[in-house]
Amino acid sequence: MVENREVVLTASSQEAVFLQPIQMIYWNEQTKAIAQARELTKDRKTDREKVAAIYNYIIQNVQYDYEKAKVVTSEYIPSVDATLQVGQGICYDYAALFAAMLRSEGIPTKLVMGKKNDIQQYHAWNEIYFKDTNEWVTIDTTYDSIMSKGTKKPTMIKNKSEYITEKQF
């Protein structure tokens, strides 16, 4: 006989769950990516300034890994330090790195998976919560990293209607 149990979670806010490390967004205080986030945000005052600093660092310093995209399996789990160290990754790597860096700075961040209107493959991106406006915004570092190599300068905050969420962590 299976016994039903009720679990009650008490959190400071609904967003608090998106501040924690999890298996696919693993980090701790010794993680190099977290040290990099601290360095990038040390003189930034607002969450928006911190997000922009980390966003710009990632889109300028991480390249899309087309070869990895061809062979990655569904069991794959990103390593934020490996992505930072090699400076390459697939969308899942970008989104995990961005989430870990922002979460370590106290900024609620989701890793989201699903579809984008102009990408055929399954995709990963982030949603970031801004306390000052009480809103979740969509940011896609992978897309913007690729776009920034061209002539068009990407816009950090995306139109949420261009994305279909299937999973969020």
- In 3D, which of 24, 64, 44 has the Cα closest to residue 107? 44
Cα 154 to Cα 61: distance, rounded to the nearest angstrom: 15
Cα 101 to Cα 88: distance, rounded to the nearest angstrom: 16
Q: Residue-wise pLDDT tens for the chain (169 aa)?
A: 556 666 565 666 788 899 999 999 999 999 999 999 999 999 999 999 999 999 999 999 999 999 999 999 999 999 999 999 999 999 999 999 999 999 999 999 999 999 999 999 999 999 999 999 999 999 999 999 999 887 778 999 999 999 999 999 9
- Contact present, 135 and 109 (Cβ < 8 Å): no
Place of tokens 């890994």: 65
Element (H, E) at 127: strand 119-130
Q: What is the pLDDT of residue 130?
A: 97
14-168 sits in which CATH class? alpha beta
Structure tokens at 64: 């899309």
Supply φ then ψ for residue 110, to 5 degrees.
-100, 145
Q: What is the pLDDT of residue 13?
A: 78
Q: What is the pLDDT of residue 8?
A: 60
Q: What is the pLDDT of residue 12?
A: 67
What's this model's pTM, rounded to 2 decimal places?
Answer: 0.92
Q: What is the pLDDT of residue 111?
A: 98
